[in-house]
Amino acid sequence: MTKEEVAEILDDIATLLELQGENPFRANAYRNGARAVKNLPGDLGEMVRQGQLTHVPGIGSTLREQIASLVTTGRLPFYDELKASVPQGALQMLRLPGIGPKKVRALQQAGITDLEQLQQACQKGQVAAMKGFGEKTQQKILEGLAFLGEVGQRVRIDQATPIGQRLLQAVRSFPTVIRAELAGSLRRRRETCKDIDIVCSGDDAHAILQAFASRSEVRQVVGLGDTKCSVILEEVVDGHRIVINADLRVVTDEQFPAALVYFTGSKEFNIQLRRRALARGWSLNEYELNDGRRAIPLRHEADLFAALDLDFIPPELREDTGEIDAADRTTAPRSARLPRLIEVQDIRGVFHNHTTYSDGAATLEEMAHAARQLGFEYLGIADHSQSLTVARGLSPERVRQQLADIDALNRKFRGFKLLKGCEVDILVDGRLDYPDDLLAEFDYVVASVHTHFGLSEEQMTERICRAVRHPLVSMLGHATGRLLLRREGYRVNLDRVLQAASEAGTMIEINAQPTRLELDWHYCKRAKSLGIPLVINPDAHSVGELNYYVYGVDVARRGWLEADDVFNTRSLQEVQKAFRTQRKP
Ligand code: DGT
Ligand code: CA
Ligand code: ZN
């Protein structure tokens, strides 16, 4: 156990004693002890072994024994018993701003013993009326409770990305920082992140960590040690208040490559990579790759992979789903290779977008303009069909009007084309919401489920497979209807849907709305192996949402897809030809 960890426990003990209403002298003895331990020069374990704690001011005989117990066994029964004797609710209350042990005791004595009771009491104004509390404290408690409710919840990638990028830029500007990168799930581009991980190298770790802890968006410093700082951030992203943890680790520049690999993860990937090092009698940890005699000098992450005879593995693939085997340079002939992952620049247009005709916020013209600004060659419009009245679905007359409008606009464009599509509803029995003669008038058709989510898996699978097999359906929209962190998808057997799509030659969408991000990346590889082209669609309901396609590229990359596996990388001519061929019986 490090000095910091021991000091933290001694501080905890002081707080617990105060909560129990113990003699303040006793609690203070632990606080002083914590400070003394933190300021000790040298290695705590060594000092304990040598009996050097005997003459340290602030550490009496009881404390000395307890510290020895912590250092040698990692445990302290006295601490465990103390923790167990204090109600959980009291400990949680301590995390609220402006609430110390004394106030917690007062609340407990008033019969308010957990956070829920506390919230109710505040809402009724009872806490303000208590002696020593008042309006202001009550307000602060309510705000603190709202904050606590958000701490520890996962955050979507579109919200974590701008926060992480800003923080990364800040870290790069701190004095003595040599280099810094995002790590963790955010670097691997997972759909949601528990926290933001940043690794940096620099000479003055202390100053770097201090600068990090003093950022204005930091709401709370959770931990501040010699090499790591953990904070809780609060920021507004797109009008939403986001609360998320962030960890910064500082290493030396020699350690940086190994540290970056380690903290990028995933954990499962790290375990496999370490196993590979061990298999050759080497060792690998967050600081170094060691061949048993010395740390192998590494300048970049790629050097670490090369030293282990591996091709560079992009962060998105580091999930222990076969990437290490595919990167292996020692197996000959190579049974598999890493894919050349699709990139954002490969995308030439997108197909599932809405306008003011149905529930979008921008007109056809505005959407077309924005698509051209993004450098797209084509933009597909796919508004909702008639039965989806909540989304102002279009009657056959209205949608024919839209098609005429598109034709008129297209006459004005050079080097760009609006494509005529629709997002037709898959009705409860798998039939489509427009008649076939109307569907045949579009360049392509996206079919999606928007209603009757409660069907059994069997019914839902049948329903979707029927739509997928329809000769006029070009692609299946959002495959399971999930809303990340809010709603599970509907029950459906995706393997059967993929099978049906493969047989019928129907494409499958990667819906790039950051709340959806499905077809889930786990299934992309399977779709690819079945020869199903995937289509990245932002499902944009406004000009700004067109940009969401980049999150679809993240999903595709995590799903091992190359440019050729994704339909949107094709030119306008190829796309139009593919749509026509698809329709031939
Ligand atoms: P998250 O935060 O849940 O979205 O996902 P990660 O992957 O960012 O996980 P996190 O923040 O707990 O840890 C960051 C990286 O640190 C993780 O991807 C791999 C590494 N790591 C953490 N704990 C362990 C561990 O127990 N063993 C190994 N080998 N690596 C670990
Ligand atoms: Ca993380
Ligand atoms: Zn849509």
Distance 449 CA to ligand 3 centre (A): 10
Q: Which residues contact 131 (CB under 8 A, 6 or more apart)?
A: 106
Q: Using CA atoms, how far apart are residues 493 and 498, in angstroms rounded to an integer?
A: 9
Q: Using CA positions, which residue lies closest to atom 9 of ligand 1?
A: 184
Tell me: pLDDT of 474 over 70: yes
Report which bound ligand comes closest to the CA of 422: 3
Tell me: pLDDT of 543 over 80: yes
pLDDT digits (tens, 9 = 90+) for 301-325: 999 999 999 999 999 999 999 999 9
Is 184 a pocket residue for ligand 1 (Cβ < 6 Å)?
yes
pTM score, whole prediction: 0.83
Per DSSP, the residues of 80-109 read: HHHHHHS-HHHHHHTTSTT--HHHHHHHHH
Q: Using CA atoms, how far apart are residues 70 and 6, in angstroms rounded to an integer?
A: 7
Please list the residues that pair with 221 across neighbouring strands: 231
Strands 378-384 and 417-425: parallel
Domain with CATH 3.30.210.10 in the chain: 264-334
Q: Which residues contact 285 (CB under 8 A, 6 or more apart)?
A: 258, 262, 274
Is the separation of the CB atoms in 346 and 563 below 8 Å? yes
Is 539 a pocket residue for ligand 1 (Cβ < 6 Å)?
no
Report which bound ligand comes closest to the CA of 199: 1
Q: Using CA atoms, how far apart are residues 508 and 497, in angstroms rounded to an integer?
A: 10
pLDDT digits (tens, 9 = 90+) for 547-570: 999 999 999 999 999 999 999 999
3-state secondary structure of 437: helix
Q: Using CA atoms, how far apart are residues 118 and 120, in angstroms rounded to an integer?
A: 5
pLDDT of residue 261: 98
Ligand 1 atom having least distance to the Cα of 262: 20
Q: How far is CA 179 from CA 218, 399, 419, 535, in A?
A: 22, 54, 45, 36
Distance 1 CA to ligand 1 centre (A): 21
Q: Using CA positions, which residue lies closest to atom 30 of ligand 1?
A: 267
Average pLDDT, the chain: 94
Residues of the chain with pLDDT > 70, as a percent, come to 100
Q: How many residues does the chain have?
A: 585
Domain with CATH 3.30.460.10 in the chain: 153-253
The angle, 0 to 180 degrees and rounded to 10, between the axes of the packed helices 77-85 and 61-73 is 100
Is 268 a pocket residue for ligand 1 (Cβ < 6 Å)?
no
pLDDT of residue 58: 87
Amino acid identity at 170: A
Is the separation of the CB atoms in 538 and 353 below 8 Å? yes
pLDDT of residue 585: 61
Q: Best of 155, 192, 197, 275 to mutate for ligand 1, by most ligand atoms within 8 A of CB?
A: 197
Tell me: pLDDT of 343 over 90: yes
Domain with CATH 3.20.20.140 in the chain: 344-582
Tell me: pLDDT of 51 over 90: no
Q: Using CA positions, which residue lies closest to atom 28 of ligand 1?
A: 267
Tell me: pLDDT of 114 over 70: yes
Tell me: pLDDT of 404 over 70: yes
Distance 567 CA to ligand 3 centre (A): 18
Is 263 a pocket residue for ligand 1 (Cβ < 6 Å)?
yes
Query: Average pLDDT of 388-408?
Result: 95
Report which bound ligand comes closest to the CA of 154: 1
Amino acid identity at 76: L
Q: Best of 156, 270, 271, 316 to mutate for ligand 1, by most ligand atoms within 8 A of CB?
A: 270
Q: Using CA positions, which residue lies closest to atom 13 of ligand 1?
A: 184
Is the separation of the CB atoms in 168 and 180 below 8 Å? yes
Domain with CATH 1.10.150.110 in the chain: 3-151
The CATH label, of 1.10.3720.10, 2.40.10.170, 1.10.150.110, 2.40.30.10, for the domain at 3-151 is: 1.10.150.110
Distance 250 CA to ligand 2 centre (A): 16
Query: Average pLDDT of 211-221?
Result: 95
Question: Which pLDDT band holds residue 43 (cuts at 50, 70, 90)?
Answer: confident
Report the 3 state secondary structure along 472-536: CCCEECCCCCCECCCECCCCCCHHHHHHHHHHHCCEEEEECCCCCCECCHHHHHHHHHCCCCEEE
pLDDT of residue 361: 95
Tell me: pLDDT of 50 over 80: yes
Q: Using CA atoms, how far apart are residues 449 and 426, in angstroms rounded to an integer?
A: 5
Among the residue ranges 92-101, 414-423, 484-493, the one predicted with the least confidence is 92-101
pLDDT of residue 487: 85
User: Does domain 153-253 bear CATH number 3.30.460.10?
Assistant: yes
Report which bound ligand comes closest to the CA of 267: 1
Q: Which CATH class is domain 264-334?
A: alpha beta
pLDDT digits (tens, 9 = 90+) for 119-165: 999 999 999 999 999 999 999 899 888 877 777 789 999 999 999 99
Distance 193 CA to ligand 2 centre (A): 6
Distance of CA 369 to the CA centre of its chain: 31
Report which bound ligand comes closest to the CA of 354: 3
Query: Average pLDDT of 372-377?
Result: 98
Position with higher pLDDT, 276 vs 4:
276
The CATH label, of 1.10.3720.10, 3.10.20.30, 1.20.1730.10, 3.20.20.140, for the domain at 344-582 is: 3.20.20.140
Q: Best of 159, 248, 267, 276 to mutate for ligand 1, by most ligand atoms within 8 A of CB?
A: 267
Among 293, 289, 230, CA closest to 255: 289
